[in-house]
Amino acid sequence: MAVSVAREHWSSRFAFLMAAIGSAVGLGNIWRFPFITGENGGGAFILIYVFTTTVIALPILIAEIMLGRMGGQSPIQSMMLIVRKHKKSVLWVVLAWGGTLGAFVILSYYSVIGGWALKYTLLAVTDSFANLDPAASGTLFGNFTADPVSLIGWHTAFMAINVGIVVWGLHKGIERAVVFLMPLLFLLLIGMVVYAVSTPGFDQAVDFLFTVDFSKVTSNTFLVAIGQGFFSVSVALGSMMTYGAYLDEDINIPKSAVIIVIADTSVALLAGLAIFPLVFSFALEPSAGPGLIFVTVPIAFAQMEAGYLVGTMFFILLSVAAVTSAISLLEPAVAYIEEAFVLSRRTTAILVGTACWMVGIATAFSFNDWSSFYPLASSGVLVDKTIFDVLDFVATSWVQPGVGILMAVFVGWALSQETVAEALNVDDPTALWFRFWTFLIRVVCPLAVLFVFAGAVWPELVASLMPSSGG
C-alpha cells in the first residue's frame, strides 16, 4: 500500500505554466503537427484541429489538473485518495494506472525520437547539412536510422538528460530546467518565423496553412485531429495530473488550462509558419510524412543563406521541446514508485528511467533489424505494424482516448457538482462557463471519444456518416 509523500509545490504560477506548457509543447508540435497537417490537406485540418482541441482536449485538461490537485500525490495514489474520500468505486483508479503506464510506454519511444533531435543538433552544429542535396539528405537519415547502435546511443543520451533533470526533484530539477528552456524555445521559434517571413515561399505557406478546402475533410480528418489534440496538449496520461498535484489551492485551473492550450496551439502554428515557407521556397514536398523535418527541411538549410544558423536554431528548439515533454512523461511513474516503495527520488528516477530505456531499445530496432518484425502479425489486428508502431498506436489511439473518456465521466458524472465546483474554486455553479464546461465533459467529450473508437473499429461505417466522405 502506497504511503503519502509530502509533496513540494510549484514556487509560482509562472513555474507551473512553464512546466505545463513545456509538457504540451514537444515533438507533437514541431515534428508531428507539421507533417500531419501536410498529409491532411493543410487549412481544413488546422481549422478542425483547433475546434476539436478546444471542445474536447481543453475540457478534459481542466478535469485532469483538477483531479491532480484534489489528490496531491502521484496519479495512482491521488485517485485512491479521491475514491476513498468520495466513496466511489476503486475501479476508477484504473484511469490513473492507464495514464501512468501509457506515459511510460510513450516515453520509451519518445526518447528514441528525442535522440534523433539530439543527433541532428550535432549535425547542424558541425555544418553537416552544407551542400546536402535531396538524395544525400535521404541517405543521411536512412543510414542513421539503419544503425541500431547509433540510435541506441542517442536514445541513451536523451534518457540520461531526462533522468538527470527528474533526479533533482521539482524545484532544483524540473522548475530550473523549464523556466530557462521554455523562454529560450519561444525566442528560437520567433527567430525562425521572422526568418521564414523573408523567404519567397512564405505566401504559399500561409495559403497552404490557412486556406480551408472542405473537400479534403473526411471522418478520418476528425479522428486524426482529436488524437493529435490529445497528444499535443498532453492530456489523459497523468502528466498534467501530476503537475496539478504540485499546484497551490488559489491558482485558477480553468484559466491556466486555457493559457496552456493557447500556447500549445500557437507553437504548433508557428512551427508550421517556420517550416513550410522553407519547404515551398525550395519546391520540396509538404506531405513528406514523418521524414519532413529530418529529411526535407535539412535540404532547405543546405540551400539557404543563413542555413547554418537557422538549422542549428531549429534542432536546438526541437531538442528543448522534446526534453521538457519527456520530463512530464517520466514524472508520474517516478512519483508513484517513490510513494509505493518509499524510495528516494534519486533511486526511483534512475530505476524508472532505466526500465523505460530498456523498453525503448525495441523501438530503436524497429527502424532497422526488426523493421519487418510485426509482433501482432498472427493476431489479426495491427498486422503490418512494427514494435514502435504498435506501442505508438496502442498508447495514443487506445490508452489516451480511453483514459480521457474515464476522466471526463468520472469528473462529469461520478463526482458531485458541488465537489467539482469546490475543487475548481467556483463560487457560482450557475455561471455560464461552468455549465458549458460541465456539458462538454459530460456529453461532448465522451461521445467524441466513442466516435474515435468507432472509427478505429469500423472505419467504413464512420466514414459513411460524413457528408463529404467521397472527397
Angle between the 202-210 and 176-197 helix axes, to the nearest 10 degrees? 110
Phi, psi of 5 (to 5 degrees): -115, 135
CA–CA separation, 424 and 427 (whole Å): 9
* Least distance CB 242 / ligand PHE (angstroms): 10
Q: How many residues in the shown chain lie near ligand PHE by CB under 6 A? A: 15
Q: Which of residues 372-401 bind ligand PHE (CB under 6 A)?
A: none
Least Cβ distance, residue 191 to ligand PHE (angstroms): 21
Q: Is 6 exposed, middle or buried (0-12, 13-18, 19+ CB in 10 A)?
A: exposed
Nearest approach, Cβ of 323 to ligand PHE (angstroms)? 11
Q: How many CB atoms lie within 10 A of CB 250?
A: 7
- Amino acid occupying residue 467: P
Query: Considering only residues 194-213, where is the footprint of ligand PHE by CB under 6 A?
Result: none
- The three cell numbers of residue 406 are 474515464
- Neighbour-count burial of 148, counting CB atoms closer than 10 A to its CB (0-12 exposed, 13-18 middle, 19+ buried): middle
What is d(CA 86, CA 64) in angstroms, rounded to the nearest whole number?
Answer: 17
- Pick the stretch among 19-27, 218-226, 241-249, 350-358 that binds ligand PHE (CB under 6 A): 19-27
- Nearer to ligand PHE (CB atom), residue 205 or residue 329: 329
Tell me the closest approach of the beta carbon of residue 201 to ligand PHE, in angstroms: 25
Interface pick for ligand PHE out of 17, 19, 21, 26 (rule CB under 6 A): 26
List for the chain the helix, strand, coil content (%; round to 5).
80, 0, 20
Q: Which is nearer to ligand PHE, 103 or 405 (CB)?
A: 103
- Of 329 and 424, the one with the shorter C-beta distance to ligand PHE is 329
Considering only 17, 19, 20, 24, the residue that binds ligand PHE (CB under 6 A) is 24
Distance, CA of 198 to CA of 207 (rounded, Å)? 16
- Nearer of residues 268 and 420 to ligand PHE, judged by Cβ: 268
**List of residues 6+ apart from 202 with CB closer than 8 A:** 196, 277, 280, 281
Closer residue to ligand PHE (CB): 25 or 426? 25
Shortest CB 44 distance to ligand PHE, Å: 21
What are the grid coordinates assigned to 15, written together? Answer: 513555474
Asked if 328 touches ligand PHE (CB under 6 A), the answer is yes
Binding test (CB under 6 A) with ligand PHE, winner from 53, 145, 281, 325: 325
CB 26 → ligand PHE: shortest distance, Å?
Answer: 2
Complex with ligand PHE: residue 24 or 152, whichever CB lies closer? 24
Residue 291 DSSP class: G
Q: How far apart are the first and last CA of the chain?
A: 55
Closest separation in Å from C-beta 107 to ligand PHE: 8
We find the least distance from the C-beta atom of residue 28 to ligand PHE, in angstroms, to be: 2
Cell (9 digits) for 446: 465522451
Comparing CB distances to ligand PHE, the nearer of 62 and 462 is 62
Query: Which of 19, 21, 23, 154: binder of ligand PHE (CB under 6 A)?
Result: 23
Of 69 and 426, CB closest to ligand PHE: 69
The sign of the CA dihedral 460, 463, 467, 468 is negative
Give phi and psi for 369, each to the nearest 5: -55, -35
Task: Pick between residue 70 and residue 237 the one whose CB is nearest to ligand PHE.
Answer: 237
Least distance (Å) between residue 318 CB and ligand PHE: 10
Q: Which of 17, 103 has the CB closer to ligand PHE?
A: 103
Binding segment (CB under 6 A) for ligand PHE, from list 189-197, 325-333, 345-353, 369-377: 325-333
Q: Which is nearer to ligand PHE, 218 or 239 (CB)?
A: 239
Candidates 54-62, 208-216, 288-296, 321-329 — which segment interacts with ligand PHE by CB under 6 A? Answer: 321-329
CB 129 within 8 A of CB 311: yes
Residues with Cβ < 8 Å from 411, sequence gap 6 or more? Answer: 63, 66, 67, 420, 441
Interaction with ligand PHE in 76-115: which residues (CB under 6 A)?
103
DSSP secondary structure letter of residue 437: H
Nine cell digits for residue 174: 524540473
Q: Give, as one character, the DSSP assignment of residue 304.
A: S
Nearer CB in complex with ligand PHE: 63/103: 103
- Residue 358's contacts (CB-CB under 8 Å, 6 or more residues apart) are none
Least spacing, CB of residue 232 vs ligand PHE, in Å: 4
Of 118, 300, 329, 415, the one binding ligand PHE (CB under 6 A) is 329
CB atoms within 10 A of CB 377: 13
Applying the rule CB under 6 A, the residues between 214 and 273 that interact with ligand PHE are 231-232, 234, 237, 239
Where along the sequence are the contacts to ligand PHE (CB under 6 A)? 23-24, 26-29, 103, 231-232, 234, 237, 239, 325, 328-329
